[in-house]
Structure 1
Amino acid sequence: MNYNNFDKINHVKALVDQSGGWESVLSNYHGLAQSFEKGIRQQPCPLTGGGRTKFRWFRDYRDTGGAYHNDVGPLPDGISVVSWYVGCSVSQALDEIIRICGGDLSRVTESDAAKAQRKHTQQSAYKTSEEALAKAKKVLRNNKAQAKPILNTHAQDYLRNRGINSDLTNMSDLGFHPKLAYKESDETNWQHFPGMLAMVRDVNGKPVTMHRTFLDTKLPVKADIIRSKMIFAPISDVRGCSIQLDQPRDVGFGEKVIGIAEGIENALSVREATGTPMWVGISDRLMEAVKFPDDVTFVLIWADIEPSGAGLAAAKRLKERLEKEGRNAEIFVPNCPEGVDKIDWNDVYQSKGFDGFPPALRPEFQLDTGVVIHD
């Protein structure tokens, strides 16, 4: 039987219901099976083991398979969890789940699929109570109100210490908060740190959450804590969103260009060294899911190099998706010195300056960052 993707999802969910539910299916993955033992409390990432409170299952996870990851955002159901955990597309995740459930989707009737659809429609794809949503909005509103422009603040000092020299006057989506609340785990007390804030927006420019970089109280460096970078609980799905430092640049004939990197410091380094307008993908997983306006036809992807290869792999998946959408995409990768297995574009900028960057845009299309770009 041929299915469109929506029908296939309903049939797969019905198959999961017939095969013991999502816990039975997801327990086939070692990290997820271990995480079930911790229940719905916050816990390390099941995939990497990193972060003490990176991940949690939704309260109805036995029915939906859904979870939340601090770096990825909501994973609404078990299909999304498999796609994230395995590192595959939704279509591939569906095939993987069918395999786990015995490989026979034909035993699911149209009636079964319709019943599964009704059941899962009643359960939230991104289950957030009105109370939780109101709390998230209040937190964002309060922190935004307490934030200051980044110019002449401890956050600016931090960026200067990272080698960023550009004019930050018009960086309206970057700010400084003098006293960000931080909690290492449920068992520890609240602490407060100065921090850099960055607005996270969807493709239409609507604010969804804010990114936080916790800073040392005295020195212009990141705070010495486990999670020096976090996002607030988003008010809607954060997948597809980004920190939009610049507007896409018009390169003629109604076409526009934008660059993207994982981190704020990387993006600002690329922006300053090449004049490329930049967005920030926040993490490798979120970067590959970023949505771009229809008139953006050129995307310049500035990848990180790390031992796991996750950053470059995400850049390649993003490039593949963009090209399927009919856009042009190019990946730029920093040169790793011998014996070095981890480097990003801020490292390059601090060590080599402009000379460490390939040409990206013709001079007439480059941003004026207040720093003269060397030929």
Structure 2
Amino acid sequence: MGNNYPYLIDEVINASRGHYVALAQHFMGQILAPALSHLGRHVPDPWRGGHAKDGFRLDAQFNETGKTFFNQNVWGHKSPMINFMQLCVYTGVAPSAGKYLEMVGEFLGLPRHDGKKGSKPLTEAEMAAIRQKAEEQRIAFEKAHYEQVLKESKLNREHNLTLWRQTIPLFIDGKPNPEAEEAFRYFDGRGLSKIRDYPEAFKVIRFHKSLKYLEDNGEEFGVFPALVTKVQSPDGTGVSLHRTYLFNGKKAPVDKPKKMTPADRTVPSACRYIQIGGDVTDGILGIAEGIETAISCFLATGIPTYSSVCAQNLKTFEAPANVHTVIVFADKDKSKTGEEAANVLKANMAKQGVICTVVLPKPDIPANSKGIDWNDEYRRAGEKAFPPRANILNWVYQRLRLMVKTAQSATR
């Protein structure tokens, strides 16, 4: 490599394996502390701040691989994966690749190739001391992080409870609440007028007459009527609230008319959903992404259909104990995001012994659209767009009989 590169790249890379945690702790300890204490898990991007709350992670085997991952390409790099040397150069910790090799070679005590005397190789005791310091800092960070989560979650619970108490029910004594007229105007516009026929099925959805809309920077944009919906974990614990801001029977003309309140992060389960249609009574449950989509599926089939809110939550959905069959009413996207998430859920359900099928809207996606969902289909053709309830039940019972026969054969 010449005198400008006293350490050989292959030697540095080979020597770094098994020591990347110590290297990260030494050269970038403070900024990488959250990621080092959560190897393999997403943490806020240290360089893009609030722009990406879960935009960065270190490889689960980071100590051996030195790999880091971003949720999108950064610094003009062609891949979201960046190795530790690239990370140090891109962030200015090392002004060049050659300087990185020198810094790491010196730290690890590798032999120089330019005739100059190098640093003395670190002893095992010195490396153990570095690892011990990293572990102490990890524990301290974990403690501080846990205390911060408890504090923030307490504030979030109080905020969500206050907001919920400011809302009014959609129905009073089984009839539409006149004070929630704007909510029903919105439902009518989404083709969901039949919601009026099921007052007991939508208790998790309430109405706020005048809810402040805040921009991402915290500035108030205005006040709008809003649907406020409870997002829960499998045991019924409220986790957060979903808000749909309204204006003249449609979504409000704001950047993000649908927003989630900050969540209670002390709730252990990763499963989150909105319980549309009430409790399951016959073991059959539908699941869809959007709230309006889930309502459409319930109105068309009579099957309680929970809303996962987003595709990611679809992947982590857990079927209640009294459910033997899950029907996934998946979104049909050009990106395949909805279908892929539905198939992940289907595979997870199979592992749990739960019958699961994925149904997609039949029409092709219009050229000017990113995708279609079951609310689009319900508005287009009503119940006719859906598999008939009798067919669904027949399919379910056939699958159940097959499972029973298979189990009986296995015990003979």
TM-score (ref. length: structure 2): 0.62
Matching residue within 188, 200, 207 for 1:160: 188
Is the counterpart of residue 148 in structure 1 residue 178 in structure 2? Answer: no
**C-alpha deviations, 1:256-309, integer Å up to 9, x for none?**
221110111000101111111111101111221122223322111111112222
How far is 1:187 from its partner?
6.5
| CA 1:337–1:135: 2 relative to 1, 3 Å | same
The 1-side partners of 2:70 and 2:316 are apart by: 11
How far is 1:138 from its partner?
2.3
1:309-320 to 2 correspondence within 5 Å? 309-320=336-347
RMSD of the alignment, in Å?
3.8
- Identity in percent: 24
1:259·1:277 contact (CA, 8 Å) conserved in 2?
yes
Match of 1:327 in 2: 354
Q: Which has the higher contact order (CA 8 A, sep 6+)?
A: 1
How far is 1:192 from its partner?
1.1
Matching residue within 205, 211, 214 for 2:236: 205
Is the counterpart of residue 191 in structure 1 residue 222 in structure 2? Answer: yes
The 1-side partners of 2:135 and 2:48 are apart by: 33
Match of 1:169 in 2: 199
1:242·1:281 contact (CA, 8 Å) conserved in 2?
yes
Flag structure 1 segments of 5+ consecutive residues without an equivalent. 1-10, 27-31, 44-54, 57-66, 70-74, 87-95, 366-375
1:303·1:332 contact (CA, 8 Å) conserved in 2?
yes
Q: Which has the larger radius of gyration?
A: 2
TM-score (ref. length: structure 1): 0.67
How far is 1:225 from its partner?
1.0
1:203·1:291 contact (CA, 8 Å) conserved in 2?
yes
**C-alpha deviations, 1:331-375, integer Å up to 9, x for none?**
111123364451010000001111111235339x9xxxxxxxxxx
| CA 1:305–1:129: 2 relative to 1, 3 Å | same
How far is 1:207 from its partner?
1.1
Is the counterpart of residue 225 in structure 1 residue 248 in structure 2? Answer: no
Matching residue within 115, 124, 136 for 2:156: 136
Is the counterpart of residue 346 in structure 1 residue 346 in structure 2? Answer: no
| CA 1:21–1:257: 2 relative to 1, 3 Å | farther
Match of 1:359 in 2: 388
Matching residue within 262, 272, 292 for 1:241: 272
| CA 1:207–1:198: 2 relative to 1, 3 Å | same
3-state SS in 2 of match to 1:243: coil
3-state SS in 1 of match to 2:252: coil
How far is 1:246 from its partner?
3.3
The 2-side partners of 1:355 and 1:260 are apart by: 19
| CA 1:158–1:288: 2 relative to 1, 3 Å | same
1:183·1:191 contact (CA, 8 Å) conserved in 2?
yes
| CA 1:127–1:290: 2 relative to 1, 3 Å | farther
More helix by share: 2
1:248·1:257 contact (CA, 8 Å) conserved in 2?
no
How far is 1:158 from its partner?
0.8
3-state SS in 2 of match to 1:244: coil
| CA 1:214–1:338: 2 relative to 1, 3 Å | closer
| CA 1:291–1:183: 2 relative to 1, 3 Å | same
Flag structure 2 segments of 5+ consecutive residues without an equivalent. 1-18, 36-41, 61-67, 73-79, 86-123, 397-412
